[in-house]
Chain A
Amino acid sequence: MKICIKNGRVINPSTKYDKVSDVWIDGKKIISTGKKPAGFIAKKVIDATNQIVCPGFIDLGSYLQEPGYEHKATIASEAKAAAAGGFTSICCMPKTNPVIDTPAVVELIKERARGIATPKIYCIGALTEGLKGQVLAEMSALREIGCVGVSNAREAIQDTVVLKNSLEYAASIDLTVFMSCEDPWLAKGGSMHDGLVSTKKGLVGIPSSAELIALSKVLILVEQTGAKIHFQALSAGRSVKYISDARQKGLPVSCDVSISHVNLCDQDISDYDSNYHVRPPLRSRKDKNALINGLKKGQVDAISPHHEPQDADSKATTFSSSEPGISSYDTFLSLLWALVRNGQLTESRAIDLVSSAPGKALGKGDNGITVGDVADICVFDPNLIWTSHSNNIISRGKNTPFLNREMTGKVTHTIADGQIIYSRS
């Protein structure tokens, strides 16, 4: 479709482009920026006056809950929420039922997304069969069917031999491993960060050492196996240093933080509100600031939603008995832009962290807003004030700590592969 995005402030971090301009789209591609191509008759004109036009957001791993947990959310419901959140690509974590450890499950997920206007959906396959940490998954077959990487989700591989072999095998077929780090014994029974707040609330804490120990173990094995690792959702400030040291040694590692962990810390947990129950847990203010500092310094590569919708029943109980997870697609842009408004990130850096940078982690190259690029675009109004209610959160999961809060910034249009997949009416 021929689309013209008029009069928006186009920010394309990778080319350091930042000016008010028009963007012209034909078919799947951007065919011009600024000057109208000769004879172009737009079928749809988007007025982006006072809005920002930037590369579409890329999600590095969310829990879409289908197949298996359709009472929480479905691919269709969450793809719609992702589109409304400005995402043009999303990655599905393998923790489904059945687990994404065979090509059939990947096919099923693609099938469920067929016929609806959605972001591009990628699958992250399982690292071990059933995520059980015992037998390697058929990673080669998973790669063939299009998995962008493999992961054991948040299930720890306790047997170090299996862990080493799984990394070695992934390395031999050049698949990126998406890794969550948490020592299962130190985390056992815990539901929040181990600190003064957990002591006061009488909740079992998960110490930062749970992340640091698991992370160190993987880093040592990366040295040995050469596996390419993307660490997901770091929570402890010291993790940033461990990874940046490893990178200086030349190890092929990258990392992201979740949008929740750079906006919230354990002190923000209001009473026992189970909407704050998330894994890894929200850590101390010091940790949060260290993560943000890592984003500034380029030691942390990306910010990702780590969207995990839950049904009301899974949260309508005590903090420790509730299911962990935060529904993040709907509030993502507002929270990203909060970091900009606080002066913690520049506009260009913020956009880079959620578009080009995660794109690189997925091996998708540098897609931006220049002529010839695939038209994956997000248009947002950084000043639009809205209040999040359970009835205007598009995700089926209403489990966000930001429920009933005034938010600033809202996506107005999302275009993926040259198609409008979301338009705010």
Chain B
Amino acid sequence: MGSQNIQLDQTGKLKHFLSIDGLSKDLITTILDHAETFTSVGERSSKKVPILRGKTVVNLFFESSTRTRTTFELAAKRLSADVMNINLESSATKKGESLSDTLKTLEAMQADMFVVRHQDSGAAEFIARQVAQNISVINAGDGSHSHPTQAMLDMFTIRKHKKTFDQLRVAIVGDIAHSRVARSEIHALQILGVPEIRLVGPKTLIPTAVEKLGVRTFNSLESGIDKADVIIMLRLQQERMRSALLPSGREFFNTFGLTKEKLRSAKSDVIVMHPGPINRGVEIDSKVADSPESVILQQVTHGIAVRMAVMSLTMGASVT
């Protein structure tokens, strides 16, 4: 049984949002369309809609995160839900409480939705299998496995700029091996019909056998982003240098850092994306990050609308 089965109810509606893998093109398009209707909410002077009034959303973060947690919180509040933030990184689990026991405690507080970030791959699915029937689980990032709302907001941003997906060349650059964002994006881009997905990075950062997923790999930035319509830069963590996957941040910037000069090999109307937070001078040069090609800040804004869409759709499915 795939995780796609547990995230849908019997009628095929979203019950949990755990991974992009296994979702239909229709469903993904529905989420994007829903998000579109929510973008206007943020532009109003009163930024609230009553869709989740009376519902309790628990942000369950086993791994620290500021921006993802904040945008989820904002999305829930704009839907009029009550939001509780629980940072478990420094809390119960550190005291030896098991994951199952933590969940039982939180269920007893009668939450309606868990937004989960966890350092282990498969954690959101594990939690979705554990919780009571009426609770929806949204994956806000699990290990190196999946970060489906990030992929959705990236698709939303691409659609805004490129309108359609079926002619695009998309390059994802950097630490693919440890990236849950990259994995979710590969699935989303494929489902939406992108004909060419390129993964760009040194061999140490490209995961085993990834070509079998139907993507092309490149070990040089210039050839990897050649005539690309979309470039998605990934964050490089210092940890990668300590574990001998790379020599230094400086060397990475010299080889895979996106500069204005290197960007010339991409298409003239290329857009540059990044899930943030960005490391200026490591994976991306400031001149690119702040250039007209960069849509990094739009991604953040879109993130709220997309998360509102996902939250309302999953809750809708669980209410009926």
A386 at the interface (CB under 8 A from B): no
B212 at the interface (CB under 8 A from A): yes
Please determine whether B209 and A272 come into contact, CB atoms closer than 8 angstroms.
Answer: no
Report the minimal beta-carbon distance from B90 to chain A, rounded to whole angstroms.
Answer: 18
Q: Give the residues in chain B near A203, CB-CB below 8 Å.
A: 121-122, 143-145
Given A194-B208, A202-B144, A202-B145, also A272-B100 (CB < 8 A): no
Please determine whether A272 and B1 come into contact, CB atoms closer than 8 angstroms.
Answer: no
Given A320-B120, A320-B143, also A202-B183 (CB < 8 A): yes
Given A195-B209, A202-B146, A318-B120, also A271-B125 (CB < 8 A): yes
Distance of A24 Cα from B81 Cα, bound (Å)? 76
Contact with A along B146-168 (1 / 0, CB 8 A): 10000000000000000000000
Please determine whether A199 and B143 come into contact, CB atoms closer than 8 angstroms.
Answer: no
A198 at the interface (CB under 8 A from B): yes
Shortest Cβ distance from A188 into B: residue? B243
B172-231 with Cβ < 8 A to chain A: 180, 183, 207-210, 212-213
Report the minimal beta-carbon distance from A345 to chain B, rounded to whole angstroms.
Answer: 30
Distance of A318 Cα from B178 Cα, bound (Å)? 17
B73 at the interface (CB under 8 A from A): no
Please determine whether A313 and B122 come into contact, CB atoms closer than 8 angstroms.
Answer: no
Report the minimal beta-carbon distance from A312 to chain B, rounded to whole angstroms.
Answer: 9
Specify the main secondary structure of chain A where it touches its partner.
Answer: loop
Please determine whether A201 and B145 come into contact, CB atoms closer than 8 angstroms.
Answer: yes
A220 at the interface (CB under 8 A from B): no
B118 at the interface (CB under 8 A from A): yes
Q: Give the residues in chain B near A202, CB-CB below 8 Å.
A: 121, 142-146, 180, 183
B112-127 with Cβ < 8 A to chain A: 118, 120-123, 125-126
Q: Give the residues in chain B near A320, CB-CB below 8 Å.
A: 120-122, 143
Please determine whether A272 and B208 come into contact, CB atoms closer than 8 angstroms.
Answer: no
Report the minimal beta-carbon distance from A207 to chain B, rounded to whole angstroms.
Answer: 8
B98 at the interface (CB under 8 A from A): yes
A189-209 with Cβ < 8 A to chain B: 194-196, 198-205, 207
Distance of A204 Cα from B144 Cα, bound (Å)? 9
Distance of A43 Cα from B110 Cα, bound (Å)? 63
Please determine whether A196 and B209 come into contact, CB atoms closer than 8 angstroms.
Answer: yes
Q: Give the residues in chain A near B122, CB-CB below 8 Å.
A: 201, 203, 271-272, 318-320
Shortest Cβ distance from B209 into A: residue? A196
Report the minimal beta-carbon distance from B93 to chain A, rounded to whole angstroms.
Answer: 10
Given A199-B210, A201-B145, A321-B120, also A313-B183 (CB < 8 A): no
Q: Give the residues in chain A near B207, CB-CB below 8 Å.
A: 198-199
Given A271-B125, A319-B122, A321-B120, also A200-B98 (CB < 8 A): no
Q: Give the residues in chain B near A272, CB-CB below 8 Å.
A: 121-122, 125-126
Of A195, A202, A313, most buried by chain B (CB within 10 Å of CB) is A202
A141 at the interface (CB under 8 A from B): no
Q: Give the residues in chain B near A321, CB-CB below 8 Å.
A: 120
A15 at the interface (CB under 8 A from B): no
B3 at the interface (CB under 8 A from A): yes
A317 at the interface (CB under 8 A from B): yes
A173 at the interface (CB under 8 A from B): no
Given A198-B208, A202-B146, also A319-B120 (CB < 8 A): yes
Please determine whether A199 and B120 come into contact, CB atoms closer than 8 angstroms.
Answer: no
Our pick among B98, B143, B145, B212 for the contact of A317 (Cβ within 8 Å) is: B98
A316 at the interface (CB under 8 A from B): yes
Using C-beta atoms within 8 Å of the partner chain, give the interface range for chain A. 20 to 34
Our pick among B2, B121, B208 for the contact of A318 (Cβ within 8 Å) is: B121
Our pick among B3, B118, B144, B183 for the contact of A271 (Cβ within 8 Å) is: B3
Shortest Cβ distance from A270 into B: residue? B1
Given A271-B2, A318-B122, also A200-B208 (CB < 8 A): no
B99 at the interface (CB under 8 A from A): yes
Of B3, B123, B209, most buried by chain A (CB within 10 Å of CB) is B209
Please determine whether A319 and B208 come into contact, CB atoms closer than 8 angstroms.
Answer: no
Q: Give the residues in chain A near B100, CB-CB below 8 Å.
A: 316-317
Q: Give the residues in chain B near A199, CB-CB below 8 Å.
A: 207-210, 213
Q: Give the residues in chain B near A194, CB-CB below 8 Å.
A: 208
Q: Give the residues in chain A near B98, CB-CB below 8 Å.
A: 313, 316-317
Report the minimal beta-carbon distance from B61 to chain A, rounded to whole angstroms.
Answer: 15
Distance of A202 Cα from B178 Cα, bound (Å)? 8
Distance of A201 Cα from B122 Cα, bound (Å)? 8
Q: Give the residues in chain B near A198, CB-CB below 8 Å.
A: 207-208
Given A195-B209, A271-B125, also A318-B146 (CB < 8 A): no
Shortest Cβ distance from B144 into A: residue? A202
Please determine whether B144 and A195 come into contact, CB atoms closer than 8 angstroms.
Answer: no
Q: Give the residues in chain A near B146, CB-CB below 8 Å.
A: 202
Of A204, A271, A272, A317, most buried by chain B (CB within 10 Å of CB) is A272
Distance of A321 Cα from B146 Cα, bound (Å)? 17
Q: Give the residues in chain B near A195, CB-CB below 8 Å.
A: 208-209
Given A194-B208, A203-B144, also A318-B180 (CB < 8 A): no
Distance of A313 Cα from B102 Cα, bound (Å)? 13
Please determine whether A196 and B208 come into contact, CB atoms closer than 8 angstroms.
Answer: yes
Please determine whether A319 and B209 come into contact, CB atoms closer than 8 angstroms.
Answer: no
Please determine whether B121 and A271 come into contact, CB atoms closer than 8 angstroms.
Answer: no
Report the minimal beta-carbon distance from A188 to chain B, rounded to whole angstroms.
Answer: 9
Distance of A317 Cα from B207 Cα, bound (Å)? 25
Please determine whether B210 and A318 come into contact, CB atoms closer than 8 angstroms.
Answer: no
Please determine whether A196 and B212 come into contact, CB atoms closer than 8 angstroms.
Answer: yes
Distance of A205 Cα from B178 Cα, bound (Å)? 12
Report the minimal beta-carbon distance from B252 to chain A, rounded to whole angstroms.
Answer: 21
Report the minimal beta-carbon distance from A277 to chain B, rounded to whole angstroms.
Answer: 11
Shortest Cβ distance from A316 into B: residue? B100
Report the minimal beta-carbon distance from A356 to chain B, rounded to whole angstroms.
Answer: 40
Contact with B along A134-172 (1 / 0, CB 8 A): 000000000000000000000000000000000000000
Please determine whether B212 and A318 come into contact, CB atoms closer than 8 angstroms.
Answer: no
Shortest Cβ distance from B147 into A: residue? A202
Report the minimal beta-carbon distance from B291 to chain A, rounded to whole angstroms.
Answer: 32
- 20 new A-B pairs (CB below 8 Å) besides A318-B99, A318-B126, A319-B121? A194-B208, A196-B209, A196-B213, A199-B213, A200-B183, A201-B145, A202-B146, A202-B180, A203-B121, A203-B122, A203-B145, A204-B144, A205-B208, A207-B208, A271-B122, A316-B100, A317-B98, A317-B99, A317-B120, A318-B118
CB<8 Å pairs between A and B, sample of 12: A195-B208, A199-B209, A200-B21, A200-B183, A203-B145, A270-B1, A271-B1, A272-B125, A318-B99, A318-B122, A319-B120, A320-B122
